[in-house]
Chains A and B, each alone.
Chain A
Amino acid sequence: MSNDNKEDFNAVRTLLLASPPGQFDLILDELQTLLINRDPPVLTDDAISSIRNEYNSKTGNIVISSNKDPNEDNNSQDDISSALRKTIDKHVESRFKGKALSSGSKVTRSDDSYRINLYAERYDPNNFNAASWFAKYNLRLDAESDKKWILDGSVDLRSHVFENEGNFHYETTLNLDAVKLSCDGVEAENISKSVIQNIRRWEDDVILEHVRITFENIGDGALKTLRRVMPVTRTRFDWNVRTHQFAKTLTHDVNK
């Protein structure tokens, strides 16, 4: 790749990696039209594929896309992996299914620990909004007691509202405090049941509560710090130059 071509590739990569949920292909279409006459072409199949893989891995979309993460081994068939897969699939089906929603989950094993990835994405162009929910949970044996299991994780939330000349993005990452599961031993059914109970509790009592609290009274809190609704005088500004010049003169005389 020549230097110019490399710079163009990096520019395209920057733009595509910044795509909001569900809009990677829309931005790709715009770029393809913009660069239609570029020679040599920037958006080759290989280039698009590599950027798409990188985007999917970064955002969690890889869980539901057809791309395979080369670092993942999804073939573990031990009892715990199978039980977790069954339970998580059921959980996703019951909670993350809807009209404009795509969702999925993956369970992978690494030594004695398990990684559960859950991804849901919503893209609703008719109502000018999009969102994504990417949860990563880790299940491992407690180092102090090889019969106890510890579950922790994090969740990345993104939303995008683009109605009527507006373009607003909300992003947050929550790290979920580690919990010791109430079950112990290696009974797969019990472990998966306990895992899903904790995941549900996090979703209902921690994640949604965090979102609710973030936006509660935001107009009177964070937004007011930037711009008040009305001045302290509670009246609109007087745009008469004479009034302000007079007030300045008075202040100057008082300060003398």
Chain B
Amino acid sequence: MTTTTTVSTTFCINILNRLSFGGLEENVKALESLLPADDKNTARSLHEKFGTKLKLLTDPTCAKKFILHITNEEGSSYRSPWSNVYYSEFTLAVTENVGYMPSPSIREIECHANELFESYCHHYYGKKCVSSVYINDKEGEENGKEGFNAVFMLFKEVQNNSINCQGDTTSLSEGLWNSIHNFEVRQVQLDHGNKGKRTEFLYKLTSTVQLSMGLLPASIKGCELNNDDIPHIRGSLARCVERTHGLPDDSHVSALSHVAIMGKMIEELELDMRSNIDALYLQKAKEIICRVLLEKQVGKVLKHGIPNLNDPSGLMAALKKKQENLNSNALNAALLRRGKK
């Protein structure tokens, strides 16, 4: 990648990191159109980092959906992780000899990974989600012994057109959760210790979660929500982790071990990210709206020991009480002055 390309990529990423995920496809397209025609690297980097709305195709051999991604793409055909066959995106016809095919050892890891990741997704996301895992040999290598690249993807969409604001809690009118987990797995050292030959692998995981929620809060007197104006929360979060694990040399056992190690890393990181989204990002989004209105009062109220900025109604109650105290103090002072006269 040239220096100019790196600089362009940086500026494009800076822009997309600020804009809402809701207009992602449109914004990525707009940025691509502004790049020089020969700058394919920046366009590819943007797609890899941000993706666009994940598209699905159904594998006709097993009637299972799979996710379309730059990793399994070859022209307008995409390789199904279930049947390992390329299908045209538009006609679903089989297209042969078009692109990358994983080596047998990599394909073994890919099959186990797809089976387990699908089950994992059903446990956490329900049966309506779609998952896909694609594993590529490391460049210049064909059996995965020195490493490979893997991408685990998950797509979940909720569509519920009910705009009936009833009930006590906020529910979902529509929602989307995309997870994209990119692994770079590399052999790091050979250990010939007393316990026999063991190979160590470094697992570098970069995860991106994209989230969109159209919310149905419980109804409140005095206001109305139209279909187009329901509250929306849209966002994305990225994280990176690295782990090193030793594996036995038996290729079959190591295939299962690779899948277990990558799976556990994904599960741990997703738990952490979900917790961050709930406890940090969503609560902060609420808090800063409240601070627009109550900023001036926050400082005064905090002095009187009301620290909970997350409860604006509690804050307002405290302010009212403070005002009442001030009023009664003023009244007492006025009565005293009158008495002295």
Contact = CB atoms under 8 A, between A and B. Distances in A.
Interface string A154-188: 00010111110111111111111100000000000
A161 B234 CA distance: 11
Interface stretch (B9-17, B182-190, B192-200): B9-17
A221 to B, nearest CB: 5
B235 A222 contact: no
Contacts of A239: 116, 120, 259-260, 263-264, 267
A143 interface: no
Contacts of A193: none
A219 B170 contact: no
Interface string B104-131: 0000000010011001100111000000
> In terms of DSSP, what is the predominant structure of the interface of chain A?
mixed
A149 interface: no
Contacts of B211: 226
Interface string A105-143: 000000000000000111010000111110000000000
A250 interface: no
B231 A172 contact: yes
Contact of A15 (B31, B239, B297): B31
B18 A208 contact: no
Given A27-B15, A176-B223, A129 B284 contact: yes
Nearest to A177: B222
Interface stretch (A46-54, A67-75, A77-85, A230-238): A230-238
A215 B170 contact: yes
Contacts of B225: 174-175
Contacts of A252: none
Interface string B35-69: 00000000000000000000000000000000000
Contact of A122 (B223, B238, B288): B288
Nearest to A101: B295
Contacts of B112: 241
A207 B294 CA distance: 12
B101 interface: no
A120 B292 contact: yes
Q: How large is the interface on B (under 10, 10 to 19, 20 to 34, 35 or more residues)?
A: 35 or more
A216 B237 contact: no
A145 to B, nearest CB: 22
B2 interface: no
A95 interface: yes
B139 interface: no
Interface string B224-237: 11100111111111
Given A168-B281, A172-B232, A214-B286, A12 B263 contact: no
Contacts of A229: 271, 274-275
A212 B232 contact: no
B110 to A, nearest CB: 13
A173 B229 contact: yes
A205 interface: yes
Contact of B234 (A124, A169, A212, A214): A169
A11 interface: yes
A244 B116 contact: yes
Contacts of A211: 286, 289-290, 312
Interface string A77-102: 00000000000000000111111010
Contact of B291 (A33, A122, A216, A225): A122
Contact of B292 (A101, A168, A171): A101
B272 to A, nearest CB: 11
B285 to A, nearest CB: 4
A206 B220 contact: yes
B85 interface: no
Interface of A: 7-8, 10-12, 14-15, 18-20, 23, 26-27, 30-31, 33-35, 42, 94-99, 101, 120-122, 124, 129-133, 157, 159-163, 165-177, 202-223, 225-229, 231-233, 236-237, 239-241, 244
* 4 interchain residue pairs of minimum CB distance: A98-B295, A168-B235, A172-B231, A219-B278
Given A174-B229, A222-B213, A236-B267, 20 more contacts: A14-B27, A18-B20, A18-B27, A19-B19, A20-B19, A26-B18, A27-B15, A98-B298, A129-B284, A159-B286, A161-B235, A162-B18, A170-B289, A175-B223, A206-B221, A212-B286, A221-B169, A221-B171, A223-B213, A226-B213
